[in-house]
Amino acid sequence: MINCGLNKKNIFTLLVLCLFISPSFAKYSGGTGTSTDPYLISTPQDMNAIGADVNDWNKCFKLISDINMACYTGTQYKIIGNRSQEFTGIFDGGWHVIRNFNYKGTTSFVRWIGLFGHTRNATIKNLGMENVDVNTVNGGWVGALIGEQEYGIVSNCYCSGNIKNIAIDQGTSVGGLIGYQFYGSYSNCYSACNVQSFISKYLSNTGSFAGTQSYGTIRNCYSTGSVSLISSSVGYHSSCGGFVGRQDNYSNCIIESCYSTGWVYSEGDVYCGGFLGQYGGSGTLSSCFWNIETSDREFGIDFGFSNNVIGKTTAEMQTVATFKNAGWDFVDTWDIGENQTYPFLRKFNISDLNRDKSVNMFDFAIFAENWLVEM
């Protein structure tokens, strides 16, 4: 007769093995970092751990829940990517939101500040950032999402909050979503960040969406935050704009089907425009708008350049015909609450018609009012 059960010797052997074999713990909240099995990010500790391990900066990540980053203050958050070791991977936000990201810099010069400091050939998509608070001294390239981008793709991302940089003895590029764009593309993104920049030496390019565009494309994006640039430097012409601070003099700089509505303010030797501060002369601007009332700016680009940047009143910018006549896509990309809202991106919550971050009876009232209105 064969005994298939466990005898005392077998039981003892199994106990020994259980004691001496170490368990294998998953990294982050799961995954292996590949494109088919990305690392899963679900906690602020997960997010901070990415910046702590440069060996993972070429890996793939996916956010699987909203995250509150308020537990990291000052310079505690470990920024992902720098000039010597860029982030080159993929970060998919999974349509989740990172809230309360804050970074308070010191007097030491740090070039790349943002959720991602420096990226190269990276893909960042489907991510929201709300209640951002970045306040730096001598920050070089500063933005809520990315300090500096080289090549790569950013799509379906947005930010809201405040960005402030005081530059004492260094040049800067400061934006709401991104500080400095070098090649690469942005699509279906927006910035609701208020951006403040102070420069006492050299120059600063400052915009509510991006500080500087040097090569690359920005399509179907917008900004609603205010922007201000105060310069006391001598011999350097800084620039600020409601959307982008400066577009460099390269033919493959493209901004297409974008708009800005924020207040724009400058002091000192500054090129300033309601949409774009300084136009290099060779880049392309196509079907773009700025609000001449809320920006308090007569010209979309400094020195009165128009170049397909069109100033409109608030009422005109809340009318679909304004944008349809310029070739904007209101089938797949944009939508609008006629006479109620500015254009908004369909990729985000299309039921929030008045864009107040909630869906309620006010949105239903807009829907009902326009039920029989031909768009």
> What pLDDT sits at residue 352?
59
> What pLDDT sits at residue 2?
37
Q: How confident is the model at residue 5 (pLDDT cuts 50, 70, 90)?
A: very low
Q: What average pLDDT does the segment 18-25 reach?
A: 41
How far is Cα 51 from Cα 101, in angstroms, rounded to an integer? 14
Is 50 exceeded by the pLDDT of residue 152?
A: yes
Tell me how long the chain is.
375
How far is Cα 31 from Cα 39, in angstroms, rounded to an integer? 4
Q: What is the reported pTM?
A: 0.87
Q: What percent of the chain has pLDDT over 70?
A: 84
Q: What is the dihedral of CA 83, 251, 207, 163, to 10 degrees?
A: -20
Q: What average pLDDT does the segment 122-144 reach?
A: 94
Residue range 32-317 in CATH 2.160.20.110: yes
3-state helix, strand, coil in the chain (%, to 5): 10, 40, 45
Q: What average pLDDT does the segment 41-58 reach?
A: 98
> What pLDDT sits at residue 252?
86
